[in-house]
Amino acid sequence: TLGGYADFMAKEIAEQPEAIERLLSGRLGEKGILLDELKMTEEELAAVDRIYLIACGTSYHVGLIARTLIQTWAKVPVICDYASEFNYEQDVLVTDHTLCVIITQSGETADTLAAARKMHGMGAKVFAVTNVLGSTAARESDGVLYVQAGPEVCVASTKAYTAQMVACALFALRLAQSHGVMSAEEVATHYQDLKAIPDAIREVISRSWQDKQAAAVFRSATSALFLGRGVNATTAYEGALKLKEVSYLHAEAYPAGEMKHGPIALLEPGFPVVAIVPADRVHDKTVSNIQEVNARGAVCVAVATDGDESVASLCEHVLWIPPVADELLVPIVAVVHLQILARYVARTRGCDVDKPRNLAKSVTVE
């Protein structure tokens, strides 16, 4: 039931802090990160020398973030692919110690299940990150990590996206531990950083009025461009996907530095651009892109970190996020503004946010 919310999208956005707290609770023991669900021995985990992350849609975006976390923290090479592409590829390179991780909220996405079967056929172990207990993905995999986000009713995925990212972060830490590339103190610090995420999301949700105001920019737009760098290029992809799905407004996303290689031709006075520009290593580079956007009279809506005057002075609207200790975890917080923004834009354009046209909650055909 809606329990006082106007729609399931609003309810599920609001449920994110608790979902993540549930997932994180009791995960740090004396020996480090506890993920017994993996059903892999310490030796098996330590031997993993390559990981394929396979998923569709929003879950694929989780995979892009997970790739960075695993490669940065555990130093294990990762390939991330769309299941619908992976299934027809002939260049899949499986070693004796390749692990396949499928990421699927519903656990029933046909392309993702087919990818898991393909990997099993090639001798790889398959591990599922899923939200649905007893789903086909859970039953057919060697190990399952349930994200425990609770039923997701709105067709557009919100809480499963952020919870799946956190699940993958736990997995990356567990792997780093077994590979001996991270000290117990470092693992504990990362775990504490993850523990701070729910409150940061609560803070973003309390600032929904910022998204409501910014939604006006998109009321009569016909297209929008999302830009971000590094891990937040993925936030841009996910923000554009959410906006398209629920508001039917055409949106595309690029790594910010790619704008000048083509998409900049789209810019004209009034054209809406959403820039994800938190306080991180690549901040100043993205600020230059915002200046290029402004120079063409386009309207910039930014997601930025509290107190960032350099962004505030350049943008029509700023969706503020509180500081996040580890810049690799910013996507889990920043995306919440884009979920809320997409919902408000959809509502101002008269769309049914929970049941967008042409879409089903799980895609059970290949």
Active-site positions? 361
Q: Closest CB to ligand F6R among 61 and 317?
A: 61
Nearest to 90 by CA among 137, 127, 122: 122
Q: Can you list the positions of beta strands (E) in the chain?
A: 28-29, 32-33, 50-55, 78-82, 98-104, 125-130, 143-146, 223-228, 250-255, 272-276, 299-305, 317-321
Residue 365 amino acid letter: V
Q: Which residues bind ligand F6R (CB under 6 A)?
A: 56-59, 104-106, 109, 112, 156-157, 241, 245, 362-363
CB of residue 222 to ligand F6R, shortest distance in Å? 22
Q: Closest CB to ligand F6R among 17 and 57?
A: 57
Three-state DSSP class for 358? coil
Phi and psi angles of residue 42, each rounded to the nearest 5 degrees, phi first: -55, -40
Q: State the angle between helix axes of 197-206 and 330-348 in degrees (0 to 180), rounded to the nearest 10.
A: 30
- In the numeric block, the tokens 């117990």 are attached to 184
Q: Closest CB to ligand F6R among 55 and 276?
A: 55
- Tokens for 105, please give them: 């909220």
CB-count burial class (<10 Å; 0-12, 13-18, 19+) for 63: buried
CB of residue 43 to ligand F6R, shortest distance in Å? 31
CB of residue 107 to ligand F6R, shortest distance in Å? 7
Q: Which residue is nearest to ligand F6R (CB)?
A: 57
CB of residue 248 to ligand F6R, shortest distance in Å? 14
Distance CA 133, CA 130 (A): 8
Positive or negative CA dihedral for 342, 348, 349, 350? positive
Spatial contact of 226 and 258, defined as CB atoms under 8 Å apart: no
Q: Closest CB to ligand F6R among 60 and 73?
A: 60
Phi and psi angles of residue 306, each rounded to the nearest 5 degrees, phi first: -40, 130
Cα 221–chain centre separation: 25
Q: Closest CB to ligand F6R among 190 and 244?
A: 244
Q: Closest CB to ligand F6R among 100 and 241?
A: 241
Q: In this structure, are strands 28-29 and 32-33 parallel, antiparallel, or unpaired?
A: antiparallel
CB of residue 362 to ligand F6R, shortest distance in Å? 5
Distance CA 327, CA 333 (A): 10
SS (H, E, C) 75-113: CCCEEEEEHHHHCCCCCCCCCCCEEEEEEECCCCCHHHH
Distance CA 356, CA 246 (A): 6
CB of residue 45 to ligand F6R, shortest distance in Å? 24
Contact partners, residue 72, CB within 8 Å, separation at least 6: 172, 328
The number of beta carbons lying within 10 Å of the beta carbon of residue 182 is 22
Q: Closest CB to ligand F6R among 250 and 260?
A: 250
CB of residue 183 to ligand F6R, shortest distance in Å? 34
Three-state DSSP class for 152? coil
CB of residue 240 to ligand F6R, shortest distance in Å? 11
Q: Closest CB to ligand F6R among 33 and 156?
A: 156
